[in-house]
Amino acid sequence: MKITSLLKIACISGVFAFISCSSDDDAAPADQIKEPTNYTFERDGKSSVSFGGQTTRIEMATILAGKLKDNTQTEAVLDAMFDHKKGANDFGDNADLNASTKSVRSKTAASKDYFSINVTDAADIKKDFDGWIKSQVDDVFPNWTKEASAGVAGFRQEAEGGSKRYITAKGLELNQVFAKSLIGGLMADQALNNYLGKAVLEEADNVKNNDNGTVVEGKSYTTMEHKWDEAYGYLFGAAPDKANPLANIGTGSNQKGDDSFLSKYLDRVNDDTDFTGIASDIFNAFKLGRAAIVAKKYDVRDAQAAIIREKVSQVIAVRAVYYLQQGKKALEAPVVDHAAAFHDLSEGYGFIYSLQFTRKPDSKTPYLTRSEVQGLINQLMSGTNGLWDVTPKTLQTISEAIAKKFSFTVAQAGS
């Protein structure tokens, strides 16, 4: 019900925005929300949009996810890549990343709304990520050339001479678990629970400065504008044209998004006819929210934040259910392709993990709490040999438990 009312506010605001735009004779310019076609905002002829730090972290995460599949890496090297320090040569010949002050780990489970007080969970979550790296190095890398079976780590090849998947004794492909969990732990958490939250947007003198058009020293943006852009960057920071990021997010299989994280899966969910339009809904909300900040219409801004929170959360949940259903289908086949099934379920594991970072539009809570998420993961991995023992029935139960927290069905997400 509250979602509906928020949407109403958004719609009404949109109508007002429309009216104010079309009647520019009597309204003062400062009262208008001028919404551009692309995510292009300028002050004094210079772009006021900036989110380089997000692009950097997406690049770092991409490289790290790739190195998790390189069995010559050591734990220390991978840890350093995860928790990069300025000047350390963690990223090979990429001088820009090496020189960067940014790191992935420091922003994992680090949003103001969720983790500024709850430092216990924040620490535990970082430990989870550290643990996946450690287990990949300790348990999977040494068995790189051994064939995996129930209770035995190693590689497992997909059907038709397909890809080799490198899995733990319990069937988990940890590089997938890590990457998909980062979608929640880094991207969604930072965007939804940090930068789109009032605590960050309106911190200190942000409102006053934005009202007065006081820019950050040496920059062409106000702090509030910048914070909003940083949320945008976690979705669209890898786009070639950052003002028009939907160019590579379409409705068919031709477009693939611009990274292996939120951009990619926003594209994938948008490809599903049950969810077509979600990408433009999210993009438009970012754009209108940013325009609302320029126009100092903070209620409109917050209504857009609510839309983004709801829809980005939905992307994560849809993919969690999708992979569980794909895994279920693979396990039900007359000839079981374990490598393909476990690949899907490992991606599913990461998306389930990411659910604890989702955000209901009308409250300060996720759609599924950390303990609920842990409960689902325990169900998934409860057998002695983990995924080797999971049944289609259990996968269905978990799928339904997730879907019922959202406004879609298992069937809609599963196709």
Partner 1 sequence: MMVRKSVFSVIALVFFMLGCSSDNNTNDEGANGGKDSFDRKALLTNIADNIAIPAYQKFSEDITALKASTSNFVTTANASNLVALRQSWITAYTSWQSVGMFQIGKAEELSLRNFMNVYPVTVSDIESNVTSGSYDLTSVTKQDEQGFGALDYLLNGLSDTDAGIVEFYTTNPNASGYKKYISDLVNRMDDLTKQVLADWKNGYRDTFVNNNGSSATSSLDKIVNDFIFHYEKHFRAAKIGIPAGVFSGTPLDTKVEAFYKKDVSKALFNTSLTALQDFFNGKHFASTTTGESLKTYLDFLNTIKNGENLSLLINNQFEASKKKAASLDNDLSNQVRSNNTLMLETYEELQKNVVLLKVDMLQAISVSVDYVDADGD
**The one among 102, 134, 329, 360 contacting partner 1 by CB under 8 A:** 329
Question: How far apart are the C-alpha atoms of 325 and 328, rounded to whole Å?
Answer: 5
Q: Distance between CA 306 and CA 238 in Å, rounded?
A: 23
Q: Quick check: 224 binds partner 1 (CB under 8 A)?
A: no
- Smaller CB distance to partner 1: residue 161 or 218? 161
Binding to partner 1, residues 258-277 (CB under 8 A): 260, 268, 273-274
Going residue by residue from 14 to 33, which x/- string records binding to partner 1, judged by CB under 8 A? --------------------
Beta bridge partners of residue 149, listed in sequence order: 152
For the chain, the maximum distance between any two Cα atoms, rounded to a whole number of angstroms, is 75
Judged by CB under 8 A, the residue of 124, 147, 205, 299 near partner 1 is 147
| In the complex, least distance from residue 333 CB atom to partner 1, rounded to whole angstroms | 8
x/- map, 298-327, partner 1, by CB under 8 A: ----------------------------x-
Residue closer to partner 1 by CB (options 260, 313) is 260
Work out whether the CA dihedral 353, 357, 360, 364 comes out positive or negative.
positive
**Nearest-angstrom CA–CA distance, 40 and 52:** 15
Give 161 or 240: the residue with its C-beta nearer to partner 1: 161
Are 84 and 60 within 8 A, CB to CB? yes
Residue 116, interface with partner 1 (CB under 8 A)?
A: no
- Nearest CB to partner 1, comparing residues 77 and 152: 152
Residue choice 338, 349, 367, 406 for contact with partner 1 (CB under 8 A):
338
Which stretch, 102-110, 111-119, 150-158, 222-230, contacts partner 1 (CB under 8 A)? 150-158
Compute the C-alpha angle 346/350/356, nearest 5°: 150
Nearer residue to partner 1 within complex by CB, 158 or 372: 158
C-beta of 240 vs 334, nearer to partner 1: 334
Per CB under 8 A, 158 contacts partner 1? yes
Which whole-number Å values give the CA distances from 378 to 7, 384, 390, 404, in the listed order? 35, 11, 11, 19
x/- map, 88-107, partner 1, by CB under 8 A: --------------------
Interacting span for partner 1 (CB under 8 A) from 17-25, 241-249, 328-336, 377-385 = 328-336
Residue with tokens 């976690």, as numbered in its chain: 234
Min separation Cβ 412 and partner 1, Å: 9
Determine, following the binding rule CB under 8 A, whether residue 337 of this chain makes contact with partner 1.
yes
Closest to partner 1 by CB, 192 vs 403, is 403
Q: Output 103 or 325, the one with its CB closest to partner 1.
A: 325
Binding-residue total with partner 1 (CB under 8 A): 24
Closer residue to partner 1 in complex, CB, 249/303 = 249
Can residue 407 be called a binding residue for partner 1 (CB under 8 A)? no
Q: How far is CA 49 from the centre of its chain?
A: 21
Does residue 253 touch partner 1 according to CB under 8 A?
A: yes
Whats the size of the chain, residue-wise?
415
Is residue 144 a contact point for partner 1 (CB under 8 A)?
A: no
Query: Phi, psi at residue 110, to the nearest 5°?
Result: -135, 20
Here's the x/- map for partner 1, 159-178, by CB under 8 A: it reads as: xxxx----------------
Provide, rounded to whole angstroms, the least separation between the CB of residue 158 and partner 1: 8
Q: Which long-range contacts (CB under 8 A, 24 or more apart) does 329-334 make?
A: 331/390, 331/391, 331/392, 331/395, 332/392
The CA distance from 396 to 193, in Å, is 30
Q: How far is CA 250 from CA 121, 258, 269, 271, in A?
A: 36, 11, 10, 7
- By beta-carbon proximity to partner 1, the closer residue of 15 and 411 is 411
* Residue closer to partner 1, measured from CB, 4 or 254: 254
The binding site for partner 1 (CB under 8 A) comprises: 147, 156-162, 253, 260, 268, 273-274, 326, 329, 333-339, 411, 415
